[in-house]
């Protein structure tokens, strides 16, 4: 089980501060997790401008130009936001036994280390 998943609310914990034009302290939802590169794409964080070649669609409208979108950021530079305190926290795992339809099952659950709440 991964510590950070798609849809998690995370905060950038390293890099340049917002006063200096960086993204440290910003919070956003994880759009995509790139497991093989150890990177995540976070909504509203690490915007880059990309020059796309101008083309035409079937209807004749122009596409391309200068576009901005989120670029991947390393997993070590973000931390999950605690649902109770709204501050960054570490992630822990615990096993719980769940009874469903008379059958006991052990399940791994992610939880916030600061407050103990399930993620």
Q: 21-50, pLDDT tens digit by residue? A: 889 999 999 999 999 999 999 999 999 999
Total count of domains within the chain: 2
Same domain, 69 and 16: yes
Same domain, 106 and 71: no
CATH for 15: 2.30.30.30
Same domain, 3 and 58: yes
Q: For residue 53, name the pLDDT band (cuts at 50, 70, 90).
A: confident
Same domain, 76 and 91: no
Same domain, 56 and 112: no
Rounded Cα–Cα distance for residues 84 and 95 (Å):
21
pTM, to two decimals: 0.81
CA distances (Å), 115 to each of 45, 102, 103, 112, in order?
A: 26, 31, 30, 6
Which residue range(s) make up the domain with 19?
Answer: 1-81
């Amino acid at each position: 089980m991964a510590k950070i998943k798609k849809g998690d609310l995370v905060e950038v914990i390293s890099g340049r501060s917002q006063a200096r034009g960086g993204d440290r302290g910003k919070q956003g939802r994880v759009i995509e997790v790139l497991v093989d590169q150890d990177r995540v794409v976070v909504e509203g964080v690490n915007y880059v401008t990309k020059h796309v070649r101008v083309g035409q669609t079937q209807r004749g409208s122009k596409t391309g130009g200068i576009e901005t979108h989120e670029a991947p950021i390393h997993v070590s530079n973000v931390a999950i936001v605690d649902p109770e305190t709204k501050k960054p926290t570490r992630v822990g795992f615990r096993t719980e036994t769940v009874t469903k339809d008379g059958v006991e099952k052990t399940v791994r659950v992610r939880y916030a280390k600061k407050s103990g709440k399930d993620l």
